[in-house]
Amino acid sequence: MVGDGATWRLRRGTEVFTPEPQYSPMPTVVAFETEGGAVLAADRLVINNDTVSSKRAERLAAFGDCGGAAVDDPGEFRRELDGKRREYETDHGGNPGIEPFTQLASEVAGAVGTDAAVLARDDDGHARARAVYADGSVIDDSPVALGTGAELAFGRLEAGVPEGLDEASTFARELIEGVGERDTRTGDEADVWTVADA
């Protein structure tokens, strides 16, 4: 069971436990690939010093065909990531694909001090999910689960996700809401965003 002030990083069959400061808000963020696209979902709860400070945090940072969600300081993550994305767009004439976007998000995660999940399309037009961490590491396997509810979420994700993008979106919302019923640091409302394959 995950205790207060801690987060789980989960990768297929591997668990890495990372202590976090007691004051750090740790919501749940999930991302996964499915037939036809990829899905990103996050709850809205913010906890500071063991007190709920908001139930309406907007963690999703969506920029057309690329975006992400951070477990901590989502506003700063969104601003910094959008700034880097705009620079890329100016230099390259369009939004970054998954590899350059993951690199940009990794830089921002390190600067902000947060973990995040990101979505974007690969060179073949397939929507992909990645996890980036404050320490600079990246996980490129789907599914991704971050935050204090990650252990609970990952079990359901590994059991299988719906193939259709609409069904997968509903599944992601219900997954976060279900985790919120069992993890006190995960809110019971979720925002969901999808990227379809091109």
**70 lies in some domain:** yes
Q: Quick count: other Cβ atoms within 10 Å of Cβ 15?
A: 11
SS3 56: coil
C-alpha neighbours within 13 Å on the C-beta side of residue 176? 29
CATH code, 130: 3.60.20.10
Share of the chain above pLDDT 90, in %: 61
- What is the tens place of the pLDDT at every residue in 173-192? 999 888 876 665 555 678 99
Residue 1 domain flag = no
- Per the prediction, the chain carries an average pLDDT of 83
pLDDT given at position 106: 97
pLDDT band at 22 (very low <50, low <70, confident <90, very high): very low
Cα–Cα distance list, 63 to 8, 93, 119, 131, 132 (Å)? 27, 14, 10, 17, 17
Half-sphere exposure of 2 (CA within 13 A, CB side): 31
Q: Which residues pair with 183 in a beta bridge?
A: none
Residue 58, domain member (yes or no): yes
- Return the pLDDT at 186: 56
Domain count of the fold of the chain: 1
Check whether the bond before 100 is cis (ω within 30° of 0): no
Residue among 156, 190, 151 nearest 173 (CA): 190
Instruction: List pLDDT tens digits, range 61-117.
Output: 999 999 999 998 888 999 999 999 999 999 999 999 999 999 999 999 999 999 999
Mean pLDDT of 13-20: 45
pLDDT per residue over 124-148, tens digit each? Answer: 999 999 999 999 999 999 999 998 8
DSSP code per residue over 71-119: SS-HHHHHHHHHHHHHHHHHHHSS---HHHHHHHHHHHHHHHT--EEEE
More confident residue, 96 or 9: 96
Give the mean pLDDT of 23-37: 81
Does 4 score more than 60 pLDDT?
A: no
Q: What is the pLDDT of residue 108?
A: 97
Distance (Å, whole) CA 109 – CA 135: 8
Flag whether 93 is in a domain: yes
Domain that holds residue 141: 6-196
- Tokens 């394959």 belong to 197
The pLDDT, as a whole number, for residue 117 is: 97
Q: 134 in a domain, yes or no? A: yes
Looking at residue 77, its pLDDT comes to 94
Domain presence at residue 38: yes
